[in-house]
């Protein structure tokens, strides 16, 4: 994105446009800020996120005092060209409260903000499933398949992973897409059980994949 392209974007009457920042690893929305042309140009040039502060009326770099910067991985513009999406690698927590992301308060069914902090806005369905798995481990429930697996111990969980991996192989050989999808979903779930058993997070897996991204998958021979 060059200056000519920035000039074509639709900034509002205050010369600003909203910028949504996502964690490039899992898509978690980290924050919403506002950029003017200079902030966007600085973001493009330096590959660290800059905003225009509406309260202080000045340009600022995210993390300039805390060190919690946002390193740009990719930039996108929406269909109306009036909003920017930033895929970024956060260094430390993004929110000034010390939370990973700014969206940790839920609106209840009455439209009221709940006081209890939640991480449910982070990630996607895999994170939601893992949170449920961890909840079942902390608070077993009668009749729960997840609870039954935990009660069966480590070996039972590993046996299910091996079984489901075999089912994926058979489904793939069979070539029916719906069966492949079904069996891969089963394998995903039981692999999440392994993470839950060991107290690991998907973020740790994403970070490992992030370290490998863009690198050759071949190990160098000694």
Judged against a pLDDT cut of 70, whether residue 197 lies above it is answered with yes
Percent with pLDDT over 90 in the chain: 88
Domains of the chain: 3-90 (3.10.20.810), 125-212 (1.10.287.1080)
Residue 217 — pLDDT band, cuts 50, 70, 90?
low
> What is d(CA 168, CA 174) in angstroms, rounded to the nearest whole number?
10
The pLDDT assigned to 222 comes to 45
pLDDT digits (tens, 9 = 90+) for 97-114: 999 999 999 999 999 999
SS3 133: helix
The pTM of the full predicted model, rounded to 2 decimals, is: 0.84
Percent with pLDDT over 70 in the chain: 96
* Closest of 34, 202, 208 to residue 119, by C-alpha: 202
> What is d(CA 63, CA 72) in angstroms, rounded to the nearest whole number?
13
Name all contacts of 81-84 with Cβ < 8 Å and 24+ positions apart.
Answer: 81/8, 81/9, 81/10, 82/9, 82/10, 82/11, 82/12, 82/17, 82/18, 83/17, 83/18, 83/19, 83/20, 84/9, 84/17, 84/18, 84/19, 84/20, 84/35, 84/40
Q: What residues pair up with 17 in beta bridges, in sequence order?
A: 35
| Backbone dihedral angles phi then psi of residue 90, each to the nearest 5 degrees | -80, 140
Tell me the average pLDDT of the chain: 94
Judged against a pLDDT cut of 70, whether residue 220 lies above it is answered with no
The pLDDT assigned to 215 comes to 80
Q: Tell me the CA distances in angstroms from 14 to 34, 38, 131, 173, one per residue in order.
A: 11, 13, 42, 59
């Amino acid at each position: 994105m060059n200056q000519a392209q920035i000039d074509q974007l639709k900034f509002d009457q205050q010369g600003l446009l909203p910028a949504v920042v996502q964690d490039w690893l899992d898509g978690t929305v980290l924050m919403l800020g506002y950029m003017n042309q200079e902030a966007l140009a600085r973001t493009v040039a330096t590959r660290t996120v800059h905003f225009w502060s509406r309260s202080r009326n000045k340009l600022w770099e995210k993390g300039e005092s805390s060190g919690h910067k946002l390193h740009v991985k990719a930039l996108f513009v929406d269909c109306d060209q009036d909003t920017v999406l930033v895929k970024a690698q956060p260094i430390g927590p993004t929110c000034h409260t010390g939370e990973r992301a700014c969206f940790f308060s839920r609106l209840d069914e009455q439209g009221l903000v709940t006081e209890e902090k939640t991480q449910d806005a982070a990630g996607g369905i895999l994170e939601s499933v893992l949170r449920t798995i961890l909840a079942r481990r902390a608070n077993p429930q009668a009749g729960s398949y997840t609870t039954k697996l935990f009660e069966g111990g480590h070996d039972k969980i590993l046996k299910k992973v091996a079984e489901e991996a075999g089912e994926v192989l058979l489904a793939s050989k069979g070539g029916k897409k719906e069966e492949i999808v079904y069996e891969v979903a089963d394998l995903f779930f039981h692999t999440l059980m392994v993470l839950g058993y060991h107290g690991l997070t998907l973020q740790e897996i994403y970070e490992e994949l992030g370290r490998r991204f863009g690198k050759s998958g071949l190990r160098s021979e000694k």
